[in-house]
């Protein structure tokens, strides 16, 4: 019996546990009891994370499309085809006619190599990953206000906060360890404000539950700031010493008195006043949010507003405070850090910056690197639909299930001349591929993941990859070398991390020997730096904090006579994203094996819908059939669906309207109608 310490491949909380294997077969999980987050109790997904690893559906050999059918092929043939086809497309249609979708599921080392592959070998900045779909708004919104897009505090700060403002995060379901910790703090006496139209588990323990209208977040937060300034609860000293642009904020929020905000949000003026007072008068108040804030056409505005609120009251840079975006995927923080983004290298160093480019030119030993920003992935799919992107290399991502407006995604993929998909299972997206490359999963390779609290933690190889699968980093190195690039050769992922540390200031002090038992939190500037549990202490990462006031804008699509409901989406506790892993996990699939829509009994009775009835949910994009789940936890007029189920994919319905700055789609609000299926 072998026990291998590794990091959980599901959400970004970053629990560590031991994978138990017996003769290269995975047989169980044993929690780490000393790990600072997991503390001996993974969530239900963590406890079951060993099961999908050797699922018979795992891809074990490369596949190549021949006569329209994907057929098993050798690695030689598959890699040659990739290395031959991508440059030939570039030769014909230009360097930026190909696009690289990196993966928040793979390791830091792999993300770094993939962006190196795109930039150094294929000379394009067209590289992006699914952070575009979850926290691109945070990266932009927090960078503009605080100077850094990451979670400002640590998970352990939950134990030190006096008040929580949780908005757009169903924390107990999606980041169970953090949610549980909030519940524990509340039991000890901390106050909890939950802003969510659904009565999520946290709402049941909340001091104040604000069921504001979906998409009215900016108005709500502006309203709270209005009250804070009106009642003189702002932190004058903090504002004067640490921030700029206060007057502009003041002028903006002046236009959001509780009476007007109440109308926009559907709350009572008193609820807004209570929330403002509770948050502002608390010694240490912590804002926790997730994609309920970011996935809007006004996602960046939402994030800025939260940052404004924190600065207004001085709840930044201390234990138990801060603005804390909870990242959704195991390594979405790391994929951003590694520069799998169209405009920055690793460590958020801008590609437009000549000096930065020169540094990478030297390290990577190339003649030059492209200087203009590449395409974000949402725009790239639009461009593919228009025929401007011809080749796409997707790693560990299933846009057919995870991107909004499935019809549009399928159409875009069909337009491509060449699609490479590298994954552990044959996903819905892989079915469009010309070449499928079988990858090793988290348990079959070494590397690091960076958790939501910026903690870089080890992932360890507990068994050899199944069948002919290979680790992603090995595949990238092989492609680079076949493409004639000589400087992508490593004996082990630790060497990749050494290179990352050399060129990435915030990872400057990271090495495998330092993070052997417990990870470090970036910024970790050099080998003696202890890491940074709390950002913005005494000084914002960007110097002065900058108030960036935002005006309320309604969502792109609002209910009307034809589509009278607001449709919002989210995750189930038992499933993870596109379900490729959790739906192949016995107990999780047993728990929930089909798509459902939550509907308030008032609406259901009016439409003659009973619990567990099959219903048709339709939007302007399409319609799907699922089973109805009646619950008072959801507000009348709102429907909630998940997107894990390929058979009735939630994202067939969602709206591909994008935030103008972050290009994030508005998953969280669109107009829908629901009818009982006869």
Partner 1 sequence: MKTITCDQFHHFLYSIREDFEIVGPVILHDGTLSLGRLTAEPLALFAGRIPFRFTSLFFPHSERLFAMSDEYRFDKSGSSAKPLLVVGWRAEDLEALEFIDEFFRTGFRDDVFCDRRQSSVVIGVSGRCGVNGEFCRISEGKCDMELIYDGKHFIMAEYTENGRFLSEKIVWGEETDSLEALLQESRALRTPEREILQTASQLLMRNQVDDDFWAEIADRCIQCTSCTNVCPTCTCFDVYDMRLKRKIERYRMWDSCQMSGFMREASGHNPLASQSDRTRRRIRHKLVDDLHRWGRMTCFLCGRCDDVCPTGIGMKAVAAEIVERFG
End-to-end CA distance of the chain: 54
* Nearer to partner 1 (CB atom), residue 199 or residue 245: 199
Q: Cα separation of 508 and 526, whole Å?
A: 5
Distance in Å, CB of 26 to partner 1, minimum = 8
CA dihedral 211, 213, 217, 222 (to 10 degrees): -90
Angle made by CA atoms 76, 77, 80, in degrees to the nearest 5: 80
* Nearer to partner 1 (CB atom), residue 270 or residue 517: 517
Tokens encoding 356: 């930065």
Distance in Å, CB of 192 to partner 1, minimum = 13
Specify whether the backbone of 299 is left (phi greater than 0), alpha (psi in -120 to 50) or beta. alpha
Q: Cα separation of 668 and 566, whole Å?
A: 9
* Nearer to partner 1 (CB atom), residue 157 or residue 400: 157
CA dihedral 482, 484, 487, 492 (to 10 degrees): 10
Q: Which residue has the tokens 């503009």?
A: 144
Distance in Å, CB of 28 to partner 1, minimum = 3
Count other Cβ atoms within 10 Å, centred on residue 179. Answer: 26
Distance in Å, CB of 356 to partner 1, minimum = 36
* Nearer to partner 1 (CB atom), residue 225 or residue 426: 426
* Nearer to partner 1 (CB atom), residue 39 or residue 408: 39
* Nearer to partner 1 (CB atom), residue 33 or residue 270: 33
Q: Cα separation of 422 and 393, whole Å?
A: 8
Beta bridge partners of 193: 165, 208
Residue 560: burial class (beta carbons within 10 Å; 0-12, 13-18, 19+): exposed
Phi/psi for 24 (5° steps) reads: 65, 10
Q: Cα separation of 496 and 500, whole Å?
A: 6
Please report how the helices 269-281 and 299-313 are oriented relative to each other, as an axis angle in degrees rounded to 10.
Answer: 50
* Nearer to partner 1 (CB atom), residue 180 or residue 483: 180
* Nearer to partner 1 (CB atom), residue 615 or residue 658: 615
Tokens encoding 199: 């009565």
Sheet with 208-210: list strands edge to edge.
Answer: 208-210, 191-195, 163-167, 285-289, 323-325
Distance in Å, CB of 245 to partner 1, minimum = 40
CA 95 to chain CA centroid, nearest Å: 28
* Nearer to partner 1 (CB atom), residue 438 or residue 665: 438
Residues ≥6 apart with Cβ < 8 Å to 521 = 154, 453, 454, 455, 456, 531, 532, 533
Secondary structure (3-state) at 456? strand
Distance in Å, CB of 35 to partner 1, minimum = 7
Distance in Å, CB of 447 to partner 1, minimum = 16
Q: Cα separation of 344 and 353, whole Å?
A: 9
Distance in Å, CB of 265 to partner 1, minimum = 26
Distance in Å, CB of 32 to partner 1, minimum = 5
Distance in Å, CB of 193 to partner 1, minimum = 18
Residue 174: burial class (beta carbons within 10 Å; 0-12, 13-18, 19+): buried
Distance in Å, CB of 56 to partner 1, minimum = 5
* Nearer to partner 1 (CB atom), residue 17 or residue 547: 17
* Nearer to partner 1 (CB atom), residue 184 or residue 362: 184
Contact positions vs partner 1 (CB under 8 A): 1, 3, 5, 16, 18, 20, 27-35, 39-44, 46-47, 50-51, 55-56, 172, 176-177, 179-181, 183-184, 187, 201, 204-205, 516-518, 573, 586-587, 590-592, 612
Distance in Å, CB of 582 to partner 1, minimum = 13
* Nearer to partner 1 (CB atom), residue 201 or residue 379: 201
Distance in Å, CB of 85 to partner 1, minimum = 31
| Cα torsion 273, 276, 282, 288: sign | positive
Residue 385: burial class (beta carbons within 10 Å; 0-12, 13-18, 19+): middle
Question: How many residues appear in the chain?
Answer: 678
* Nearer to partner 1 (CB atom), residue 6 or residue 145: 6
């Amino acid at each position: 019996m072998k026990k291998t310490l590794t990091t959980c491949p599901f959400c970004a909380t970053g629990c560590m546990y031991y994978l138990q294997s017996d003769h290269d077969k995975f047989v169980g999980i044993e929690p780490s009891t000393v790990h600072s987050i997991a503390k001996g109790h993974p969530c239900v997904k963590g406890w079951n994370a060993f099961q999908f690893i050797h699922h018979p559906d795992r891809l074990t050999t490369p596949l190549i499309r021949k006569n329209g059918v994907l057929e098993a092929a050798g690695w030689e043939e598959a890699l040659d085809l990739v290395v031959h086809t991508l440059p030939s497309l570039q030769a014909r249609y230009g360097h930026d006619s190909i696009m690289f979708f990196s993966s928040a599921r793979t390791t830091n080392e792999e993300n770094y190599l993939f962006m190196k592959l795109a930039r150094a070998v294929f000379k394009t900045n067209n590289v992006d990953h699914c952070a575009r779909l979850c926290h691109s708004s945070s990266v932009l919104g927090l960078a503009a206000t605080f100077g850094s897009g990451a979670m400002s505090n640590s998970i352990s700060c939950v134990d030190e906060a006096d008040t929580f403002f949780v908005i757009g995060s169903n924390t107990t379901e999606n980041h169970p360890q953090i949610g549980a910790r909030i519940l524990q703090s509340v039991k000890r006496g901390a106050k909890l404000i939950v802003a969510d139209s659904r009565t999520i588990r946290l709402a049941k323990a909340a001091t104040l539950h604000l069921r504001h209208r979906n998409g009215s977040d900016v108005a709500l937060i502006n309203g709270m700031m209005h009250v804070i300034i009106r009642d003189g609860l702002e932190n004058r000293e903090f504002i004067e010493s640490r921030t700029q642009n206060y007057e502009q904020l003041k002028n903006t929020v002046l236009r959001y008195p509780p009476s007007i905000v109440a109308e926009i949000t559907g709350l009572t003026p008193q609820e807004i006043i209570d929330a403002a007072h509770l948050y502002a008068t608390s010694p240490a108040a912590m804002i926790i949010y997730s994609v309920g804030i970011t996935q809007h056409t006004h996602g960046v505005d939402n994030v800025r507003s939260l940052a404004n609120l924190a600065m207004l009251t001085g709840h930044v840079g201390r234990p138990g405070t801060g603005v804390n975006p909870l990242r959704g995927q195991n390594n979405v923080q790391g994929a951003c850090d590694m520069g799998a983004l169209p405009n920055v290298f690793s460590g958020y160093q801008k590609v437009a910056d000549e000096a930065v480019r020169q540094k990478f030119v030297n390290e990577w030993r190339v003649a030059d690197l492209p200087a203009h920003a590449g395409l974000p992935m949402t725009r790239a799919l639009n461009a593919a639909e228009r025929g401007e992107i011809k080749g796409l290399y997707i790693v560990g991502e299933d846009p057919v299930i995870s991107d909004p407006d499935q019809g549009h995604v399928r159409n875009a993929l069909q337009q491509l001349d060449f699609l490479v998909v590298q994954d552990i299972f044959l996903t819905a997206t892989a079915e469009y591929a010309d070449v499928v490359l079988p990858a090793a999963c988290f348990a079959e390779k070494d590397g690091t993941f960076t958790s939501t609290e910026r903690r870089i933690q080890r992932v360890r190889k507990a068994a050899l990859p199944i069948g002919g699968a290979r680790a992603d980093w090995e595949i990238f190195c092989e492609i680079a070398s076949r493409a004639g690039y000589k400087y992508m050769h490593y004996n082990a992922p630790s060497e990749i991390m050494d290179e990352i540390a050399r060129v990435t200031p915030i990872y400057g002090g990271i090495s495998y020997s330092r993070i052997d038992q417990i990870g470090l939190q970036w910024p970790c500037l050099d080998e003696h730096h202890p890491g940074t549990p709390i950002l913005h202490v005494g000084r914002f990462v960007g110097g002065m904090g900058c108030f960036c006031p935002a005006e309320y804008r309604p969502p792109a699509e609002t209910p009307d006579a034809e589509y009278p409901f607001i449709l919002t989406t989210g995750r189930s506790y038992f499933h993870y994203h596109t379900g490729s892993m959790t739906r192949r996990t016995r107990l999780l699939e047993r728990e929930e094996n089909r798509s459902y829509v939550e509907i308030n009994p008032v609406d259901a009775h009016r439409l003659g819908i009973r619990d567990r009835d099959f219903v048709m949910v339709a939007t302007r994009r399409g319609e799907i059939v699922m089973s109805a789940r009646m619950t008072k936890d959801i507000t009348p007029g709102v429907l909630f669906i998940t997107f894990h189920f390929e058979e009735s994919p939630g994202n067939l319905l969602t709206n591909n309207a994008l935030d103008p700055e972050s290009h994030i789609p508005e998953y969280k609000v669109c107009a829908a109608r629901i009818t009982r299926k006869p």
